[in-house]
């Protein structure tokens, strides 16, 4: 099961980074390239503990839907979203925010399981892990730019 861990240093306070990271409207802007839309559940504003959102987006040329739920929440330090329905067998995305002086260290831990057994594992090795890491990096750079304005 692949685990992607990214660290991003942001010149902004922890609460700003935390709130941007859970902001549905901001997420839509940061994922504009995949035409991502919130279509059910919490579809705008700040998502919180126990709330879920269903996203529709185009990845690998295919329109897909994915629902996730906030399962852990400790503002402004930590939250977790986990897949309820979607193309993965499962995923867990931990969002960790640590204050360091006037900066925030934002840590993403994204753990996922692909369906289809050995074929899914092969897809992980060949392209999916890299694709997901790049998706997270793109979003993090977008968040960093917005928070540092």
What is the structure's pLDDT at 122? 85
Per-residue pLDDT of the chain (149 residues; tens, 9 = 90+): 899 999 999 999 999 999 999 999 999 999 988 889 999 999 999 999 999 999 999 988 899 999 999 999 999 999 999 999 999 999 999 999 999 999 999 999 999 999 988 888 888 888 999 999 999 999 999 999 999 99
Query: What is the predicted pLDDT for the residue at 124?
Result: 83
Residue 60: predicted pLDDT: 86
φ, ψ of residue 143 in degrees (nearest 5): -65, -45
pLDDT for the residue 126: 86
CATH number at residue 39: 3.30.530.20
Q: Domain limits at 97?
A: 3-147
Q: How many Å apart are CA 96 and CA 7, to the nearest integer?
A: 9
d(CA 53, CA 148): 27
* Count of the separate structural domains present in the chain: 1
DSSP-derived letter for residue 116 is S
């Amino acid at each position: 099961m692949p685990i992607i861990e990214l660290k991003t240093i942001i010149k902004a306070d922890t609460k700003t980074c935390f709130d941007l990271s859970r902001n549905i409207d901001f997420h839509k802007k940061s994922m504009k390239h995949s035409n991502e839309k919130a279509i059910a559940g919490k579809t705008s504003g700040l998502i919180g503990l126990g709330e879920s959102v269903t996203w529709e987006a185009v990845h690998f040329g295919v329109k897909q839907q994915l629902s996730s739920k906030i399962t852990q929440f400790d503002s402004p330090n930590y939250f977790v979203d986990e897949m309820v329905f979607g193309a993965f067998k499962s995923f867990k995305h931990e969002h960790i925010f640590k204050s360091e002086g006037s900066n925030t260290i934002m840590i993403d831990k994204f753990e996922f399981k692909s369906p289809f057994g050995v074929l899914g594992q092969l897809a992980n090795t060949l392209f999916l892990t890299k694709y997901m890491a790049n998706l997270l990096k793109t979003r993090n750079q977008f968040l960093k730019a917005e928070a540092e304005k």
